[in-house]
Amino acid sequence: MKKKEYTVTINDTTEYTLQLAFDEGGQPLYYFSNLFTPVCLTGECKPVYINFYWDLLGNYTRFDFPKGAVLTRMDHKPFKPEDYEKLQDILANTHSLLKDVSMEDLVGKGTENLADSVDAKAGATLKTVKNEVIDGAVYTCYTLWHIAHGKVVTEMQRITETFKNEALLHRFLTDNNHHYQYWAMERVMNTEGIVALDFQSDMQQVIRGRNIFTARFALQKINVAFFADNARQQWLWETYQSAGYPLQLVILKKMATLPLTNTMAEQVAQQIGKSNQEQGSLLLKALATQPKLSEQTLLTLADQLANENFAAEIYRVLEARQPKNQTVQKKIVKFKQTLHPNNK
């Protein structure tokens, strides 16, 4: 495998060799580092050899070991399989409590030795992080977590930025790694949410993708001009009809910000009676925000004044339009009479 090496300086005494792996086409794939770090406790140090892997944005992914290397607890007993599984969970947790713990917090009061057991009398901090560490290997967990999520992450992000090009952006936008998608979206949209022409179909893939969070981010950030023409609005409507319920609500909220075409507005009006209360209210909001509604759409709305779930909201939309169509006017009058049967 092709690779390129970088030296990362952590502090005055520590440097790591960071390696970037490439595929046969010269595209960057991931970062890795063959690490050696001493873990010192109870007056002695033991060497730890471990390989770390990160994605192209510095998100830790996994670890493995050079041949013959293992991790041990404070009593020199090797890690059990479940310990390695827990270590992976610890290292993968970017929000670990270890983030805000200093080395001094792990030192037992009145001693210079690190307390590497949660059962040791090392104060409240060690008790707090009990579920974030492996007993007998507290310092190992602490050291490795801070390597995985430390200064090296910023360096990886800096390096990846130097490889930014259209091919990488296309790849990131269509990748299953949501970190890649967010990173790329922020680079193919400007501050007004205008999407660069070459990436518009990629953004549509994001919206129709499996990850509702990246889809919602895209919908919220994209400028309304993206959905200006009827073809793009029809695409959005088809997406709505096939989407899961949470994304449907996001799409309807977006539609309330769009100047809908007459065709789209009519389809929205027809959908109201087929929707639940939450969906129907959002559909009506999308119509209420339009500067003008066609006569056909007003008729479609008036026909649904008999729908008890939405009649009051439909009436308010129609009244605000002051429709001149006599059929619509008659239906509005009839609805008023159902509310106040004694008024002529």
Query: Lowest-pLDDT range, 43-52, 63-72, 157-166, 213-222?
Result: 43-52
φ/ψ bin of 300: left (φ > 0), alpha (ψ from -120 to 50), beta (otherwise): alpha
As given in the structure block, the two tokens for residue 75 are 């009593």
186: part of which helix (H) or strand (E)? helix 178-188
Q: What is the mean pLDDT of residues 56-72?
A: 94
Mean pLDDT of the chain: 89
pLDDT of residue 124: 55
Q: What's the pTM?
A: 0.86
Using alpha carbons, select from 155, 159, 181 the residue that is nearest to residue 169: 181
Using alpha carbons, select from 167, 184, 183, 185 the residue that is nearest to residue 26: 167
At residue 211, the 3 state secondary structure works out as coil
Cα–Cα distance measured from residue 109 to residue 177, given in angstroms and rounded to the nearest whole number: 44
| Sign (positive or negative) of CA dihedral 182, 30, 27, 162 | positive
pLDDT of residue 14: 75
Cα–Cα distance measured from residue 121 to residue 35, given in angstroms and rounded to the nearest whole number: 31
CB-based contact 4:20 (threshold 8 Å): yes
pLDDT of residue 130: 76
At residue 216, the 3 state secondary structure works out as helix
What's the burial of 296, exposed, middle or buried (CB within 10 Å: 0-12/13-18/19+)? middle
| DSSP letters for 59-125 | -EEEEE--TT---B-TTSPBPPHHHHHHHHHHHH-TT-GGGG--GGGGBPTT-SSB--STTSS--HH
Query: Lowest-pLDDT range, 67-76, 85-94, 144-153, 186-195?
Result: 67-76
pLDDT per residue as tens digits for the range 295-337 = 999 999 999 998 888 999 999 999 999 999 999 999 999 988 8
Buried-exposed string 24-37: b where 16+ CB fall within 10 A, e elsewhere: eeeebebbbbebeb
Asked if the model's pLDDT at residue 112 lies above 80, the reply is no
Asked if the model's pLDDT at residue 104 lies above 90, the reply is no
**CB neighbours of residue 50 within 10 Å:** 21
pLDDT above 70 as % of the chain: 89
pLDDT per residue as tens digits for the range 245-274 = 999 999 999 999 999 999 999 999 999 999
Cα–Cα distance measured from residue 111 to residue 43, given in angstroms and rounded to the nearest whole number: 11
CB-based contact 134:73 (threshold 8 Å): yes
Q: What is the mean pLDDT of residues 271-282?
A: 95
pLDDT of residue 145: 93
Query: Lowest-pLDDT range, 13-17, 91-95, 261-265?
Result: 13-17
| DSSP letters for 149-180 | TSHHHHHHHHHHHHT--HHHHHHHHTSS-HHH
pLDDT per residue as tens digits for the range 188-227 = 999 999 999 999 999 999 999 999 999 999 999 999 999 9
